[in-house]
Amino acid sequence: MEKYEDVIHPPKEESLEEKFARERLEWSEKIADMSSKMKNVVMIAELMTTLYTERQRAVEYYHYLISLMIGMNRKYNASYAERFDYYTTKTQVRYPNESTKHNRIQVDLAEMVEKRSTVENHSKFIDKTISTIDNIIFAIPRRVEIEQIARGK
């Protein structure tokens, strides 16, 4: 049975921006956790397992985002061509130059443009997250060397 509050004020569905903000926070926390495990050499074996697992998850997610972008770009390009044809041949309004017509089309497709930008921005974040994980992986042998030097080996 539904709660009274849920009927009066249904739970708000998470927007794309909110979802991506939450995911960025989760990834940032994972990176901070992995970085903190570098302090303790004993934790490095566990850290390596975590690193490779999380890196693979990030790579798969990045490619998923890129596949979404491909679909969005295809839809955007078709809509743009349709609107361009409409404003060029089917409307009584004449635009003084192509940039004015382009701006009008961008306004018409504003929701699509915003979604594309949001997904693109998030994909760039995930790509940089992968780079950060790679840097941590690269740092592990250096960390072990530093520990050995500190112990006099």
User: Which two structure tokens, joined as six digits, stand for 114?
Assistant: 């915003």
User: What sign does the CA torsion over 76, 82, 85, 86 have?
Assistant: negative
Confidence grade of residue 108 (pLDDT, cut at 50, 70, 90): very high
User: Which two structure tokens, joined as six digits, stand for 126?
Assistant: 């995930």
User: Element (H or E) spanning 58, and its range?
Assistant: helix 44-85
Axis-axis angle for helices 110-150, 16-36 (nearest 10)? 0
- The three-state secondary structure class of 11 is coil
pLDDT tens for 18-70 read 999 999 999 999 999 999 998 888 888 889 999 999 999 999 999 999 999 99
Neighbouring C-beta atoms of residue 38, cutoff 10 Å = 15
Per cent of the chain over pLDDT 70 is 93
